[in-house]
Structure 1
Amino acid sequence: MDSTSDFLHLHRLGVDTHQEPVVYMRRDCHVCHAEGFNAQSRIKIMTDHHSIIATLNIVDSEIISHQQAGLSETAWRLLHAQEGEVATFGHAKPVESTAFVRGKLFGKLLSDESAYSIVQDIREGRYSDIQLAAYITACAGQGLNVNEVIAITKAMVATGKRFQWSGQEVFDKHCVGGLPGYRTTPIVVAIASACGLIMPKTSSRAITSPAGTADTMEVMTPVTLSFEHMREVVEQHGACLAWGGSVNLSPTDDVVIRVERALDIDSEGQLVASVLSKKIAAGATQVLIDIPIGPTAKIRTQEAAAHLQKLMVATGEALGIKVHAITSDGTQPVGRGIGPVLEARDVLTVLRCEPEAPTDLAERSLVLAGALLELAHKAQPGEGFKLAQKTLWSGKALDKFMAICESQGGFTEPELAAQQHTITASQHGIISYIDNRFIARLARLAGAPEVKAAGVEMHVRLGDAVEVGQPLFTLHANAPGELAYALDFLQLHPEAVRIEEEYL
């Protein structure tokens, strides 16, 4: 190859860069020198048929030759590359919308136009992870007012696909999160659709939690559905349980979520935009929002819940959907399992009406399903819970759930992790405090949600009386190293569950 040539041969390096497209070049590569590329440069890669924008990493080793450009797995997939294929390279055009992000960081409000420009550039892959982090930081906390949230939500809907369901009332529900193990959605969808409601449910993967609904459902059935496949499932069964990122509904959401997860940030305004953009894109006309409140939940006070509720309702109204918000107890985990497999097992025990099913998970699911049935006029006010309970106990909800799974690609029974370690009480007394955030972090350290079977299995609830040696919770991990990592952290932070001596 002539050293003055302006092209390189593509080589698949097999590097997982977690959805960010990355290209690797030798520091002494002739293209690097000719184009003036530096580490972290944003580069346009062009083949005869496709082009992408990627972040450059500089290599000082022999893993690639002077004649090659290495691609991460994400870059390889997006470019539809072939081994040895020829590509040319150039500087990506400056991303003009980052000026709006800088303005927001210094207090300038986002307009409909600036919000759309930012979201569109994110959608087109023009933002690096560093630029995405700046955008997320600018929106963090309560950094977005209601008009900005509406603008971002509109933009997120406009840049993706959208379902239309022939003028029917379409329902959805969402929990704002913060409670480990809160996996009511599969149960609610099964009950509601068994009663005739239309619920095209799309869910996100975990952001800062040990599992999202999509992570949990993926243990039991495929959730990566095409737009057409999702429509077929809903038309056949009235509902689905899919990952929103796979059907291109509000496609910027999963891009933003990936960086939010790395930053451990889940801001209020972006949360509203994320939730409602997906509901609108899925065709929902009425949405039920559950806001758990507790000292270690995502929402900690009634005042914060009221503010979020107002923001949700106003944003929904501006975009033409009805949002109904309720609050619930957020003082402790829900169910027993925390992590995809463990939560899936809880869901199945409830749907199968097994004696060991967690009563709190069943109760919360019935409350939410009952509220939806009343909104849909399937039950009179105050009678929704009874209809939901009857539907669950009759087996109709389980039948509907299994039918949805089969249509999505089949059902798989969850399997437990190979490594388990039970933490026991060191004193007798009453369970007085459970730290939601700590328990969630412990499950993540054990490997969840990436390792589906990893997590925490709770054996106690607030108010339970325990004796010395009684199990409090069990850590689940697939490898001894992951289990040891979680146990090391637990040793440094022993008060995940607090026991107070009972005085008579």
Structure 2
Amino acid sequence: MDTQLDFLHLRRLGINTHQEPVVYMRQDCQVAISEGFYAHSRVEVHCADQSVIATLVLVCSELLSHEEAGLSEAAWHRLGCPADGEQARFHHARPVESMSFVRGKLYGQRFNDESAKAIIEDIKAGHYSDIQLSAFVTACAGDRLDLDETIAITRAMVSSGQRFDWSSDKVLDKHCVGGLPGNRTTPIVVAIVAANGLLMPKTSSRAITSPAGTADTMESMTTVTMTFEHMRDVVEQEGGCLAWGGSVSLSPTDDIVIRVERALDLDSEGQLVASVISKKVAAGSKQVLIDIPVGPTAKVRSQSMAQTLKQLLEKTGAALGLDVRTIITDGNQPIGRGIGPALEARDILQVLRNDGHAPQDLREKSLQLAGIMLEMGEKAAVGQGYALAQRTLLDGRAMDKFKAICLAQGGFMEPPVAEFTHCIHAQHSGVVAYFNNRFIARLASLAGAPNAKAAGIELHVTLGDEVEAGAPLFTLHAEAPGELAYALDFLDGHTDVIRIEEQMV
């Protein structure tokens, strides 16, 4: 039975805890004492007709009064944005029963359809704390998920969110497994494919630790946060879209799991496949092309790893009704010159506008991928897709379609330009022999990308280029002098970002 001891007045504290709802209260307040709460208790909060399960942080200062409970931004939004002072009730959250399946997996038991569904539903409902999510990610890490388990998790992730049905047997999509800076082919491919009358409802992710995701890059040119209905309208009007997947509730547990995977720096082949395939199924796609870059500092580092991933993607896709095709590409160096949202957007626009200064590697890879997709969509005969993609780019139809998609999503704008730059030069003459993709991505992030849209790295060389001592290798871009200095501090002592080797006589 509820009593006044259950209630506190809510206060928005403006603390960003990302996706984890957190509630704060004094450790000596009446609710904490009467309920027996302790630090990191899982607490159920009720306010009006809204509720959220949150992690409790106990306060030992005057930050809050004895009658107040503070809310993180995530908790405040999940409670429907209550006004300061509104009354809320607090109880211990029920134990998360699906955690028994996670513990079982850690001890060697396999997931099945029932256990996968229970886990994914609890994650979606916010029942898992970050600690519990970490246990789930660890249980799936590496190659611990077999094909049947991967399919079970993928099905559960699809059923946890909304799903499009386009009433067409030709609905295309593409994806890159990541790990390669730049490589922003998707906007160009969507424009070419949609300009040829095919449907391509593309949803993309934001970066978590990388310098940019496709959604971040597109956001420097247009609106990417869209409702389910808005995305449907754009696709029906223009044949394609470039939306942030997190805004339309397609496979909503995916972003939650990825956040924890990245924080732990743990990769799971099975979870990666479930992430990719579930979003494609939810988007209503039928034919999917997946790019797997392979290189010593890419996410996929060997041909054998690429082949394993290829089989898992294709078989899981087939189990969920998708025609999945994969292409293994060169991941030895970044694609394009720009690394970071606005710099990648500039590359995209140069390609679409047939600018003579456009990065040719980005142009050629985009045409290659678009050509395959035009063949998959039966708009071109086998072997003729590249030529059709090239014509679509050269005659301006791709740029026209790209701009039309942007306008339908909310408007088009030119990407911003950074105020602060610093060029790094070659220390000696020789040939560009090596790019450390991970270091380059890290450096662009330290310069402020993706939160600072204009920040990142502009490359001036590619593998095999001959350079003289003092020649420009790359330029750091930043929106604030402090971020530029931070990136330069990291660079000091890291001399192997781009390796210059002496030419053999």
Shift of 1:266: 3.5
The residue that corresponds to 2:76 in the other structure is 76
- 1:113-140 deviation digits (Å, cap 9, x = unpaired): 1111111000001111111111112111
Matched, 1:117 2:118: yes
SS at structure 2 position matched to 1:44: strand
Q: Name stretches of at least 5 consecutive residues in structure 1 with no aligned partner.
A: none
CA contact (8 A) 1:208 1:266 kept: no
TM-score, normalised with respect to structure 1: 0.98
Kindly report which structure 2 residues correspond to 1:22-33, keeping only aligned pairs within 5 A, or say none.
22-33=22-33
- Partner residue of 2:222? 221
CA offset at residue 45 of structure 1?
0.3
Aligned letter for 1:114? S
Q: CA deviation at 1:263?
A: 2.2
1:51 aligned residue: 51
Q: Which residue identity lines up with residue 58 of structure 1 in the other structure?
A: L
For residues 331 and 167 of structure 1, the distance between their equivalents in structure 2, rounded to whole angstroms, comes to 38
Query: Helix, strand or coil for the counterpart of 1:413?
Result: coil
Equivalent position of 1:13 in the other structure: 13
CA distance in 2: counterparts of 1:379 and 1:137, whole angstroms: 44
Structure 1 residues 184-226: Cα deviation after superposition (integer angstroms, max 9, x where no partner): 0000000000011100001111244211111111111111110
Given that residues 207 and 264 in structure 1 are in contact (C-alpha distance below 8 angstroms), is that contact kept between their aligned partners in structure 2? no
Shift of 1:480: 1.9
Whether the 8 Å contact between 1:10 and 1:85 is mirrored in structure 2 is yes
Q: Give the Cα separation in 2 of the matches to 1:280 and 1:5.
A: 48
RMSD value, Cα? 1.2
Is 1:383–2:384 an aligned residue pair? Answer: yes
Distance 1:183 1:138 in 2: 32
Q: 1:154 aligned to 2:155? A: yes
- State the identity as a percent: 65
The answer to whether the Cα contact below 8 Å between 2:416 and 2:453 also exists between their aligned partners in 1 is no
Contact conserved, 1:100 with 1:110, CA < 8 A, in 2? yes
SS at match of 1:5: helix
The yes-or-no answer on 1:35 pairing with 2:35 is yes
Q: Which residue pairs with 1:305 in the alignment?
A: 306
Which residue is 2:322 aligned to? 321
Distance in 1 between residues matched to 2:378 and 2:481, nearest whole Å? 52
Instruction: Please identify, of 169-178 and 134-143, the stretch whose mean Cα deviation from structure 2 is larger.
Output: 134-143
Q: What's the offset of the Cα at 1:152? A: 0.6
User: Using the alignment, how far apart are the partners of 1:102 and 1:499 within structure 2?
Assistant: 49
Deviations 1:238-296 (CA, angstroms, capped at 9, x unpaired): 11100111111101011112222322333211111101100000001110011111111
**More deviation in 412-421 or 37-46?**
412-421
Give the Cα–Cα distance (whole angstroms) in 1 for the partners of residues 144 and 443 of structure 2. 30
Distance in 2 of aligned mates of 1:239 and 1:215: 18
TM-score, with structure 2 as normaliser? 0.98
Match of 1:88 in 2: 89
> How far apart are the structure 1 equivalents of 2:153 and 2:210?
24
Report if aligned partners of 1:216, 1:340 keep a CA contact under 8 Å in 2. yes
CA-to-partner distance for each residue in 1:120-167, whole Å, 9 max, x for gaps? 000001111111111112111112111111011000001111000113
Deviation at 1:446, TM superposition (A): 1.5
- How far apart, in 2, do the equivalents of 1:182 and 1:138 lie? 31
* Kept after mapping to 2: 8 A contact 1:370/1:385: yes
Per-residue deviation, residues 31-78 of structure 1 (Å, max 9, x unmatched): 001101111111000012110101111111212111100001111111
- For 1:281-300, list aligned pairs within 5 A: 281-300=282-301
- Aligned partners of 1:179 and 1:258: how far apart in 2? 19
User: C-alpha displacement at 1:387, in angstroms?
Assistant: 0.5
Counting only pairs closer than 5 Å after superposition, residues 115-194 of structure 1 correspond to structure 2 as 115-194=116-195
Partner of 1:415: 416
Deviations 1:83-111 (Å, cap 9, x if unpaired)? 11000000000001111111212221111
- Give distance in 1, aligned partners of 2:233 and 2:359: 33
Partners of 2:207 and 2:105 in 1: CA distance: 27
| 1:370 shift after superposition | 0.1
| Contact 1:207–1:260 under 8 Å retained in 2 | no
Name the CA distance, whole Å, in 1 between partners of 2:452 and 2:263.
Answer: 17
Deviation of 1:4 after TM superposition, in Å, equals 5.9
- Structure 2's unaligned 5+ residue stretches are none
In 2, Cα distance between equivalents of 1:422 and 1:366:
31
User: Which whole-Å CA distance do the structure 2 matches of 1:274 and 1:74 have between them?
Assistant: 23
Structure 1: distance between partners of 2:478 and 2:129 = 33
In structure 2, C-alpha distance between the alignment counterparts of 1:339 and 1:103, rounded to whole Å = 41
Moved more, 252-261 or 46-55: 252-261
- Structure 1 residue identity aligned to 2:416: E
Q: Which AA in structure 1 matches 2:55?
A: T
3-state SS of paired residue (1:149): helix
Bigger shift: 190-199 or 166-175?
166-175
Counterpart-to-counterpart distance in 2, 1:210 and 1:106: 37
Aligned to 1:242: 243
How far apart, in 2, do the equivalents of 1:261 and 1:417 lie? 28
Partner of 1:64: 64
Q: Give the Cα separation in 2 of the matches to 1:28 and 1:481.
A: 41
Larger deviation, residues 268-277 vs 450-459: 450-459
Question: For structure 1, which segment, 260-269 or 286-295, has the greater mean C-alpha deviation from structure 2 after superposition?
Answer: 260-269
1:6 Cα offset (Å): 2.2
- Whole-Å separation in 2 of the counterparts to 1:273 and 1:389: 33
Distance in 1, matches of 2:266 and 2:461, equals: 29
**Counterpart residue identity of residue 22, structure 1:** V
Counterparts of 1:456-495 in structure 2 under 5 Å?
Answer: 456-495=457-496
The alpha-carbon deviation at position 492 of structure 1 amounts to 2.5
Paired position in structure 2 for 1:402: 403
In 2, are the aligned partners of 1:425 and 1:470 still within 8 Å (CA)? yes
1:334 aligned residue: 335
- CA–CA distance in 2 between the matches of 1:441 and 1:340? 14
Residues 221, 411 of structure 1: 8 Å contact kept: yes
The amino acid of 1:201's aligned partner reads K
For 1:426, the aligned partner's letter is Q
Say how many residue pairs are matched: 502
CA contact (8 A) 1:438 1:496 kept: yes
Partner of 1:204: 205
Q: Which moved further from structure 2: 137-146 or 431-440?
A: 137-146
Question: SS at the partner of 1:93?
Answer: coil
Say which SS state the counterpart of residue 54 (structure 1) adopts.
Answer: strand
Provide the residue aligned with 1:103 in structure 2. Answer: 104
Q: Deviations over 1:321-379 (max 9, x none)?
A: 11011111110000001111111111111111111110000000000000001111111
Q: Which amino acid aligns with 2:489?
A: D
Q: Look up the match of 2:281.
A: 280
Confirm or deny: 8 A CA contact 1:24 1:71 kept in the other structure: yes
